Amino acid sequence: MSITKRSPVLLAIAAACLSLAAGAARAEDGVLRVGIITDMSGQYSDGNGPGSVIAAQMAAEEIGGRVAGRKIEIISADHQNKPDVATGIVRNWIDNKGVDVIAEGVNSAVALAIQTVTRERKKLFLISGSGSSDLTGKQCSPTSVQWTYDTYASSNATAKAVVARGGSPWFFLTADYAFGQALERDASKAVTSAGGKVLGAVRHPFDTADFSSFLLQAQSSGAKILALANAGSDFRNAVSQADEFNIRASMQLVALQVTLTDVPALGLAHAHDLLFTDSFYWDRTTETRVFAQEFFKRHGAMPTAYQAGVNSALRHYFKAVAATNSVDSETVIAQMRKTPVNDFFAQNGVVREDGRMVHDMYLMRIKKPEESKSKWDLYEYLATVPGDQAFRPLDEGGCPYVAKAH
């Protein structure tokens, strides 16, 4: 008897088998595929986006475009700042495109969603643009590395420096999603541990245009410090509108996360004298300038910390692939942990068990207009914060994979 109707279950099994077969075939085709998933068109695209793809391409070119007998192929996609879009892309890359490593992942809500998929599929995820310290905390993954910064490091040094100068009490203006919430949480702990006081917070939606009601609430709080726990266009709009409302007459603005490309967009007339902590500045050393000038030739802008982090993370990854002659995620990440990170981005950096790449951070001040000599001469370096002081101690994050190991 001929079968004219096929069981939906059998069809699903067949489709899954075809998908797995396609992925396996691509995995053995002599190509190492790198997937850059980022914000290509939204509020984070200037500091990440196409520039992160260029940074990845530079990392591949620096080793001749091949590693361990495999040609390196860079593919990219726009996650539109939507976790469901991001996870759909990543699943397709893993199942059907033979992607070996995922990188970038700006937007913490997006990165946490991606990390759920890469944890399940045992794929490497090199995080540069996302800052939530939960990525290496309770929601950590044994095959992820958070490379560039996190909310603990960004807020810790800045909060302590401001409190030490008499800056207290604090009030937070917070982006109401994973990144902003983590930034407020980590900064609040740093403020109180340094002897300061937090009076409260107001949270605004992602991609807010009108900050007037939030700023007036902050102004009426009685706090001396207004901490901006946001980024991108939210950060720029908050600062420019704070000046419209003359907030600085009674409060000092403190930036808990600054992206290089935000500053010329905002203008030094608005951004000047903001204190913040960052992992990279293009004009800090000879090595950073060499990388930055090559990047500038291709992109027409100096690299942000996130874009530099993509390049550095992939350099370290490619070295580990070469050393192990493998693209197996667990094999490669074990090699990455064994090997110190020494390049233009970090000196003696260490990839920890929880996925945190520990490196020095830098306390910076945004220059006044009269201090700047060129469009990209924006920051004054103030101090180095050693990595072991900048980042959360390993035993405080709650990463379950660390707990099992000890």
Residue ranges of alpha helices (H) inside 283-386 are 286-299, 305-324, 329-338
- Residue closest to 308 by CA, chosen among 152, 201, 167, 149: 149
Arithmetic mean of pLDDT, 374-399: 96
Tell me the two tokens of residue 163. 């409190």
The answer, yes or no, to whether residue 11 has pLDDT greater than 90, is no
Domains of the chain: 9-149+284-356 (3.40.50.2300), 152-278+361-390 (3.40.50.2300)
- The predicted pLDDT at position 2 comes to 38
- 3-class secondary structure, 10: helix
Average pLDDT over residues 47-64: 98
For residues 193 and 210, give the distance between their C-alpha atoms in angstroms, rounded to a whole number: 33
Q: Name the percent of the chain lying above pLDDT 70.
A: 92
Residues in the chain: 406
pLDDT of 21:
46
pLDDT tens digits, 222-279: 999 999 999 999 999 999 999 999 999 999 999 999 999 999 999 999 999 999 999 9
Residue 404 has what pLDDT?
Answer: 60
pLDDT tens per residue, range 123-176: 999 999 999 999 999 999 999 999 999 999 999 999 999 999 999 999 999 999
Strand partners, 170: 198, 225
> 156 vs 380, 390, 402, CA distance in Å?
19, 7, 23
Distance CA 231, CA 70 (A): 38
Render pLDDT for 289-329 as a digit per residue (tens, 0 to 9).
999 999 999 999 999 999 999 999 999 999 999 999 999 99
Do 194 and 160 contact (CB within 8 A), yes or no?
Answer: yes
CB 77 within 8 A of CB 35: yes
> What residue has token string 């100068």?
165
Phi, psi of 364 (to 5 degrees): -130, 160
Q: Is it the case that residue 7 has pLDDT exceeding 70? A: no
